[in-house]
Structures are given as C-alpha cells and as structure tokens.
C-alpha cells in the first residue's frame, strides 16, 4: 500500500510552480504516486504534480504505462534537481528500488 506524501514537503517544492507534469499547463492541484513502491512510495521523487480532474483521474490507467511512468519520473527528477533539491536517504532508496527506470531517466538527462 502507498504511503502518503509529506504534504509540507510537496507544498514547499511544487506549490509555486503549479505546472502539471502531464500536459505542462499551469493547473496542477494534486500529487500522483507514479510507481506503487510500498516501502519508499512516499519519496518526493515519486510525486508527480497533476491536475486531478483533467490529467489524473480520467487517464489513470494510461499514466501507469512504462513510457508514461518514465515521463512523469523524469519531469519530477528534473524539476527537483534544477530547483536545488538535495536527495534524502528515502529518495536514494526509492531510486535504488526503481533502478531500471532511473537508468532510462538518467540517459534522457544526458
């Protein structure tokens, strides 16, 4: 089962942006758990800011496809790293537990 995100941490890093990771419009209003990783699912790296009514609920099953998981994780990782975020132990564990996805994400960032 997914653990909830740290609301204060999510608000601090994402509230000023408001950009939806799916469509890149300024209307994000929820955090989507990109992968269902029980132990580390509450890592901020697993939080994709989306618009709940337009870009989350209606296409939730589409968001779970591998290419879309990579798209959302890439957005979140890039956004946080360019904003000065420092990875925590939880984040490093999340990356390690999803290392096959992160190999692809890091290739895209090169």
Q: Is residue 13 part of a domain?
A: yes
Residue numbers of the domain that contains 37: 7-109
Q: Is 97 a member of any domain?
A: yes
Phi (first) and psi of residue 30, to 5 degrees: -155, 165
Structure pTM? 0.92
Q: What is the pLDDT of residues 83-98, one digit of tens each?
A: 999 999 999 999 999 9
* Segment of 4-8, 10-14, 47-51 carrying the highest mean pLDDT: 47-51
Residue 2 lies in a domain: no
For residue range 30-45, list pLDDT tens digits in order.
999 999 877 899 999 9
What is the count of structural domains for the chain? 1
H or E segment and range at residue 106? helix 99-109
């Amino acid at each position: 089962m997914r653990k909830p995100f740290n609301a204060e941490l999510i608000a601090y890093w994402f509230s000023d942006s408001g950009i939806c990771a799916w469509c890149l419009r300024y209307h994000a209003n929820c955090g989507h758990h990109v992968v269902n990783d029980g132990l580390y699912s509450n890592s901020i790296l697993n939080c994709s800011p989306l618009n709940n009514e337009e870009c989350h609920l209606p296409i939730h099953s589409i968001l779970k496809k591998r290419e879309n998981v990579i798209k959302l994780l890439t957005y979140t990782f890039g956004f946080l790293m360019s904003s000065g975020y420092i990875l925590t132990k939880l984040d490093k564990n999340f990356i390690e537990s999803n290392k096959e996805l992160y190999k692809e994400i890091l290739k895209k960032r090169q």
